[in-house]
Amino acid sequence: MIDLTVARIAEIVGGTLADISPQDAAALRVTGTVEFDSRAVGPGGLFLALPGARSDGHDHAAAAAAAGAVAVLAARPVGVPAIVVAPEGASASRAGVLEHDPDGSGAAVLAALAQLARAVADELVAGGLTIIGITGSSGKTSTKDLVAAVLAPLGEVVAPPGSFNNELGHPWTVLRATRRTDFLVLEMSARHPGNIAALAQIAPPAIGVVLNVGTAHLGEFGSRDAIARTKSELPQSVPSSGVVVLNADDPAVAAMAGVTAARVVRVGRAGPATPDVWADDVSLDELARPRFTLHARGAATEVRLGVHGDHQVTNALCAAAVALECGAGPEQVADALAGAGPVSRHRMQVITRADGVTVIDDAYNANPDSMRAGLQALAQIAHGGGARAGAKRTSWAVLGEMAELGEDAITEHERIGRLAVRLDVSRLVVVGNGRSMSAMHHGAVLEGGWGAGAVSVADPDAALALVRAEVRPGDVVLVKASNAAGLGALADALARDAPGGEPADEAPR
């Protein structure tokens, strides 16, 4: 964070001082980072006391101070220097981000965090910082990582680790920026209408990217239209001086050109209406890494991606459009994209073990769109991405539940089961016995004369035992589910099973 006095922070958030005199608060400066985990606090830091399901941050204030925090942002005095904000009441809107916030004290601290982040963002933007906001149903983190990679040659980039895309992670990321930061790349996620507008208030993006309108969190929104309206809060919030990058291949995203005052840059595949930044001649290598020709500003540049799956073409085009807006040349963009491998854990990390087994670890997240993208990548790798015609590898899809689909859950799971058969996946391992997973299994069995290829197991341990016993050198295994299904550890275990398997926590870059 930029260096601010405790008194100035109290003024920004409208808080009162506790256990520190006004004179001391005017002299004491926060020079370190802002943290909500007391174990991450370092010298000069600011600690956010947030309630949690297991413990209350207020109880860790003393530990944070001992670790070097100069002050705590809290909802009540904590016995060490603090800026205290009043609880907002149990029904406060931000309470949804926190698992446990009975009296709204967490909501109050989050509101203060938002105000602090906004003040810091405004000051940094006045000094030349460019804020880039990314939203979409699938691919925000993947695209955020690509955007960070293409901007890195142009200046100092701050981007969140993993997702960090809600009312806690987003302002936390904003406060990582310093006066040296040139680009702040933010992921913006929504569970309810108004969420993205609120995040855009915290850090107003000069460049907004909308990837797609899918079915993630359909259960909470009720309809795809409602999801589209919520995603369109990003283009609506970008001012006329800014730029909005829209994926023209998704009609619901393309339509957002009508709701923004900003200049629109359309990206997409070659089609009848040529976008501003577009790809043609797309092909995939043997690990489903796309290659394509990038067309932008009259230039045609060959691009090879270091990330896996055809869906990454859209993500890369969005990243290219952002970099071009920020002053990069097409060759520079192509070089940066080539060097950008998977960064965030359990998202399409492809690991080939010494015995030739390829593990596609996509265990962090799943919705119907990303399941289709993951299964397609599996099929493409099994077929050698077109690069090794004739040598089809045995493919395994070890799939767990897609969360938060509401009343569509049964139908969507059944469809994925059918799709696995249609894509000619050799072995489907359905993990879990709930209604959704039974529907997936049923879908696969119904679709093919393929019964033996689809098995249902109770839990990740049983799935791991099965795959370990039956996987053969050269096979390809996709592991995919929503995070809650707990398949990440299974993917790690499979990757570690043979020499050459890289532990997934050591990102390959």
Ligand X SMILES: Nc1ncnc2c1ncn2[C@@H]1O[C@H](COP(=O)(O)OP(=O)(O)OP(=O)(O)O)[C@@H](O)[C@H]1O
Query: What angle is formed at CA 90 by the lines to CA 89 and CA 91, rounded to 5 degrees?
Result: 95
Q: Binder to ligand X among 165, 181, 215, 456 (CB under 6 A)?
A: 165
Tokens at 457, concatenated: 């197991």
Which residues inside 271-310 make contact with ligand X, applying CB under 6 A? 309
Q: Which range in 15-23, 107-115, 366-374, 438-446 contacts ligand X by CB under 6 A?
A: 366-374
Q: Least CB distance from residue 39 to ligand X, whole Å?
A: 24
Which strands make up the sheet holding 46-48, listed edge to edge? Answer: 16-18, 82-84, 71-74, 46-48, 34-35
Q: Binder to ligand X among 139, 160, 171, 204 (CB under 6 A)?
A: 139
| 358 contact choice in ligand X, Mg ion, none (CB below 5 to 8 Å, kind-dependent) | none
CA-CA distance, 163 to 174, in Å (whole number)? 13
Q: Kind and range of the H or E element at 293? A: strand 290-296
158: three-class secondary structure by DSSP: strand
User: Under a CB-based contact definition with an 8 Å cutoff, are residues 266 and 253 in contact?
Assistant: no
Q: Output the DSSP codes for 395-423.
A: EEEEE-PPP--GGGHHHHHHHHHHHHHHT
Q: Least CB distance from residue 213 to ligand X, whole Å?
A: 11
- Residue 140, interface with Mg ion (CB under 5 A)? yes
Q: Which range in 98-106, 139-147, 170-178, 488-496 contacts ligand X by CB under 6 A?
A: 139-147
CA-CA distance, 132 to 118, in Å (whole number)? 15
Nearer to ligand X, 309 or 488 (CB): 309
CA distances to 221, 247, 282, 333, 372 from 290, rounded to whole Å, are 33, 18, 7, 15, 17
Nearer to Mg ion, 38 or 165 (CB): 165
Nearest to 490 by CA among 506, 477, 499, 509: 477
Which residues inside 186-215 make contact with ligand X, applying CB under 6 A? 187, 189, 211-212
Q: Least CB distance from residue 140 to ligand X, whole Å?
A: 3
Q: Binder to ligand X among 142, 181, 195, 358 (CB under 6 A)?
A: 142
- Residue 140, interface with ligand X (CB under 6 A)? yes
- Residue 175, interface with ligand X (CB under 6 A)? no
Q: How many Å from the N-terminal Cα to the C-terminal Cα in the chain? A: 26
For residue 138, say whether it is annotated as part of any ligand binding site.
Answer: yes
- Residue 141, interface with Mg ion (CB under 5 A)? yes
Q: Tokens 């099965």 — which residue?
A: 466
Which residues, listed in sequence order, are joined to residue 83 by a DSSP beta bridge? 17, 73
- Binding residues for Mg ion, how many (CB under 5 A)? 3
Q: Least CB distance from residue 269 to ligand X, whole Å?
A: 12
Q: Which residues are annotated as a binding site for ATP?
A: 136-142
List interacting residues with Mg ion (CB under 5 A): 140-141, 163
Contacts with ligand X, residue ranges (CB under 6 A): 136, 138-142, 163, 165, 187, 189, 211-212, 309, 311, 314-315, 347-348, 362, 365, 369-370, 373-374
